[in-house]
Amino acid sequence: KVFMNTLKYLQCNEFLLDVDLWRLFANLEELSKISLSFLKTFFETVKEHVSKSDSPVDFSSILRKFFQGDLCQTHQIYCLNYTSAVFYLENLRQREDFGIYLKQWCEQNEECKRLHLPELLVAPLHRLTRYPLLLNNIWKRSTDETEKGFIWSLKEKVEKSIRDLEGKVKWLDNFQKFRQLQEVIIWPQVWDRDKRFFVPECLKQSLRENSSENVLSSANRLLLHEGRLTLAESTRLLDVYLFLFDDFLLITKIKRNKKKYGGSDTGLIPVCPSLTPELQSFIREGGFCTVLDQPIPLDRLTLKNVDPIHVTVFSLRNAFLIQHENRYRQCIAVFLLQAQSETAKKIWISQIEMAISNYTTQHETKKSIAFCFPAESSEI
């Protein structure tokens, strides 16, 4: 309430008018009212039982009213907005005026008990996960078998709603991450990637590779590992950023921009908090990643470790080789990569090998199902 009411007050006085209350706090007011109503009703019942020890405690009507009503639903609405709220907050904190609002107007308030806004915003998520514990404790102490059965079924429904919510939150988080990657990763045209391909200007429009920009639009794809490496070319070392997905590997060149996100020229650009801190910082600096070569499907990728003996001979450190093969098993590209440390190299090799193994297993299972014909009849 300190943060929310202070922001409302400032906006009434025409400060921070562009800050969206809903994006930060969602349905928090409604959630607080319902939660408080549940707690008051719950404790009133307990107090009544204490004052009249001979009267039985009727929790069923209270639990039915709230848990089959709006209590879990309002929590779900808030929780689904939570990731987006953190996303939004992290970018607002880059602003000087919003920083003054947080630190001087809110965080110094005694009611906040030195807690920051991110620590307070997560509280409703924690409360939702505690409701099954409450229901379980009531179930243990209940003596009526009918009531015990009802409370147990209610507990299972709440637990299922939490599991469903976790799946939705993960899906939304993954969706936001990939939407950000679509903005950051640039796919050059084939004639820009390789000067061997000559296309007259009059034909370029008809050959535009628009579909390449939608490669990352699938919400079912997963980003398994990412990070910065060095690519050894014939005449230079190139900073690259690799994205290992669950079906292909993407090698990109790092391009820096002098303009930073959040400045007066570019406006406030949100940065997804689930991305690595390194990539978040890179995006805020206005950087982007240009695709170096076509994506390498995991079933066309061969990984080779570079022996330590070559380290001294060719001045290679923490190096490994990635080979891209076509469907005829011909090598069409080779990338000699160097990690920052031996540990980082081992992690990359392990992650790629695991991704290839999982990808192969999944596709072999699909093939076996597709080619699984029913047994022949004995009469044929």
The predicted-structure confidence for 319-329, as pLDDT tens digits, reads as follows 999 999 999 99
Instruction: Single out the residue of 259, 291, 48 nearest to residue 193, CA to CA.
Output: 291
Q: Which of 119-128, 160-169, 192-201, 222-231 has the lowest mean pLDDT?
A: 192-201
User: How far apart (Å, rounded) are the C-alpha atoms in residues 7 and 97?
Assistant: 12
Report the C-alpha gap between 164 and 161 in whole angstroms. Answer: 5
Identify any residues that bridge with 303 across adjacent strands, giving them in sequence order. 322
pLDDT at 32: 93
Quick: pLDDT tens for 108-156: 999 998 899 999 999 999 999 999 999 999 999 888 899 899 999 999 9
Mean pLDDT over 248-254 rounds to 95
- What residue segments make up the domains of the chain, in order of their start? 1-184, 219-257+272-367
Which of the following CATH numbers is that of domain 219-257+272-367: 2.40.50.100, 2.30.29.30, 3.30.465.10, 3.30.450.20? 2.30.29.30
Rounded CA-CA distance 260/258 in Å is: 6
The residues, ordered by sequence, that sit 6+ positions from 301 with a Cβ below 8 Å of its Cβ are 249, 322, 323, 324, 325, 352, 356
Output the pLDDT for position 211: 54
Number of other CB atoms surrounding residue 320 within 10 Å: 20
Residues contacting 380, CB < 8 A, separation 6+: none
CB count within 10 Å of CB 180 equals 21
pLDDT at residue number 52: 78
Question: Residue 210: its pLDDT value, please?
Answer: 53
Rounded to whole angstroms, how far apart are CA atoms 251 and 55?
Answer: 71
* pLDDT: which is higher, 191 or 27: 27
Q: Which of 35-44, 189-198, 278-287, 316-325 has the lowest mean pLDDT?
A: 189-198
**What pTM was computed for the model?**
0.74
CA dist list (Å): 87 to 76, 92, 168, 180, 301:
18, 9, 16, 11, 35
Q: Which residue has the higher pLDDT, 345 or 172?
A: 345
Q: Dump the DSSP string for 143-160.
A: --HHHHHHHHHHHHHHHH
Q: How confident is the model at residue 262 (pLDDT cuts 50, 70, 90)?
A: very low
pLDDT of residue 270: 65
Alpha helices per DSSP H over 185-246: 190-193, 201-204
- As a whole number, mean pLDDT of residues 18-39 equals 94
What's the CATH fold of domain 1-184?
A: Dbl Homology Domain; Chain A (1.20.900)
> By mean pLDDT, which of 131-140, 232-241, 313-322 is the weakest?
313-322
Residue 375 banded pLDDT, cuts 50, 70, 90: low
Count the helices and strands in the chain (H runs, E runs): 14, 9
| Between residues 369 and 3, the one the model is more confident about | 3
Per-residue model confidence (pLDDT) at position 323:
96
